[in-house]
Amino acid sequence: MTHAFGIDIGGSGIKGAPVDLDQGDLSAERHRIPTPQPATPKAVAKTVRAVIDHFGSDAADLPVGVTIPAVVQRGITRSAANIDKRWIDAPAVEILSQLVERPVTLLNDADAAGLAEVYYGAAKGNQGLVLLTTLGTGIGTAIVHRGVLIPNSELGHLEIDGFDAERRASAAARSNEDLSWPEYINRLQQYYSHVESLLWPDLFVVGGGISRNAAKFLPKLELRTPIVPAELRNRAGIVGAALAAADPSIQP
C-alpha cells in the first residue's frame, strides 16, 4: 500500500488529504473544514466524512487514519482537549467507522506527529528512543521506540515544582505571561531536563508553531540528549495518521 488518507481533528479545523507513503508527504493539497461547534462525536464524524468526500475517487478505497486531541485506548477516547466533553469514554472508532463507511484507525494527535517525524522527518533513521514534544496550547508528547509507538504518554502533564508542566512551559504560557526568551528558556530547561532524567531518550524532536523559532531557544538548552526542531510542521498529523492506517505494526 503506497497511499492512505490522513485526517487531523483540531479544535478549530478538521484537515485531511491523501498521503504518498513512499514520499511521506501529501499527494494533494489538504482540505480544511472548520470544526463544528459543539464538536460532538457525531458532528465531527460527519465533518471527517465530508473531508474525505471532497477528494472523490482519489480517496476511494484508501485506508483512513484520524488523529484526535484525546487519549485513545482500544478505540475509545478517554479524554477531550479542545473538543466536546462528550468524547470522553465515547466509542470513537465505531462512530467514525460507521459514518465514514470503512474501518478507521484512530490515534492521539501528538502520537501521529511523532510517527511522522520518525519515519519521514527529523528523527528518520533513528532506531533508539525518540521523544517528540509539541509546544502549543499545551505540551503534547509522543514516545517512539525502534519505530514502534508507545501511545498516550501525556508527559505534558508531569508535575514539576507543584505545577502541571504545560501550564509553565507551553508556548501558550510564554505568550500569556509575556515571557522573554531567557525566561522561557529557563522553563524549557527545567522541563526537558526532568523528562531526560526519567526516560533517557536518544533524541528530542520539538514541534508546534514555536518550532519555527527553534534557533532562538533550542541551542540554549543544556542537555545530554540531542534536541532538534520537527520538520513536517502542520503536515505531521495527517502523514502520521495515514501511516498508522496503512501499517498497523507501528502501533502496539
Question: What is the pTM for the complete model shown?
Answer: 0.95
Question: Phi and psi dihedrals of 78, rounded to 5?
Answer: -100, -5
Partner residues linked to 26 by β-bridges: 19
Distance CA 185, CA 104 (A): 40
Task: Show me where the domains of the chain are located.
Answer: 3-111+234-250, 124-230
Tens-digit pLDDT string for the chain (252 aa): 699 999 999 999 999 999 999 999 999 999 999 999 999 999 999 999 999 999 999 999 999 999 999 999 999 999 998 899 999 999 999 999 999 999 999 999 999 999 999 999 999 999 999 999 999 999 999 999 999 999 999 999 999 999 999 999 999 999 999 999 999 999 999 999 999 999 999 999 999 999 999 999 999 999 999 999 999 989 999 999 999 999 988 987
Nearest CA among 151, 150, 130, 133 for reference residue 141: 133
User: Is domain 3-111+234-250 annotated with CATH 3.30.420.40?
Assistant: yes
Nearest CA among 78, 247, 225, 233 for reference residue 148: 247
Other beta carbons less than 10 A from residue 140's beta carbon:
27
Distance CA 243, CA 59 (A): 15
CATH class of 124-230: alpha beta
Q: What is the pLDDT of residue 1?
A: 61
Nearest CA among 249, 252, 246 for reference residue 24: 246
Q: What is the pLDDT of residue 25?
A: 97
Distance CA 15, CA 109 (A): 12
